[in-house]
Amino acid sequence: MILGAVLFGAEMLAVDAQFYLVFIGLSAALVGVLALLGLTAPEWLQWLIFAGLALGSMFTFRRKLYEKIRGNVPGFKEGIAGEYIVIDTDLAVGAQGRTQFRGTDWTVVNSGGTTIAAGSRVPVTRNEGLTLYVSADPSPTP
């Protein structure tokens, strides 16, 4: 039960393990409660119950609960499409270059139909890993 409380508390207060520790901690606590209620079982059965509860609850409830509690954070958006970056060097149509964005080096690809001049501020149309696709066109091509 102590281990269950520690895992649950760690997830809630310090570690963001996407609610995996919550379900492991709750499962450990439930097995401890069963023992306190006098429902004794061999040690191997307690471990089996613990594993079944942990895995079953993770696969059944974790995603829904995590999205409900942490997934809908106001102002949070996934991806960086629509944000603006400054291009360091001239970038011809279809060419790629390098730039700094959010403290990381990114590969930048001009997916538009016009050359982008050095120092231009352009929107990111999409990204794939550390590659940003940008365009100076009003309606960029993907």
**Last residue of one domain, picked from the residues 50, 71, 92:** 71
Q: Are residues 15 and 48 in the same domain?
A: yes
118 lies in some domain: yes
Domain that holds residue 89: 84-134
For the whole model, what pTM was predicted?
Answer: 0.44
142 lies in some domain: no
Better pLDDT: 32 or 103: 32
Cα–Cα dist 30/37, whole Å: 10
**Res 142: pLDDT:** 47
Q: Which two tokens stand for residue 98?
A: 């390098």
- C-alpha distances out from residue 43 to 3, 28, 36, Å: 16, 13, 14
Q: Are residues 18 and 44 in the same domain?
A: yes
Give yes or no for residue 96 having a pLDDT over 50.
yes
List, in sequence order, every residue forming a beta bridge with 116; answer none if it has no partner.
Answer: 91
Task: Give 140's pLDDT tier (boundaries 50, 70, 90).
Answer: very low
Give yes or no for residue 59 having a pLDDT over 90.
no
Q: Which two tokens stand for residue 75?
A: 């102002």
Q: Are residues 63 and 89 in the same domain?
A: no
Cα–Cα dist 71/22, whole Å: 16
Residue 46: CB partners within 8 Å, gap ≥ 6?
Answer: 31, 34, 35
SS3 99: strand
Q: Are residues 11 and 65 in the same domain?
A: yes
Mean pLDDT of the chain: 80
Segment 44-68 mean pLDDT: 86
Q: Are residues 109 and 66 in the same domain?
A: no
Cα–Cα dist 70/77, whole Å: 12
Residue 140: CB partners within 8 Å, gap ≥ 6?
Answer: 111, 112, 123, 125, 133, 134
Give yes or no for residue 66 having a pLDDT over 60.
yes
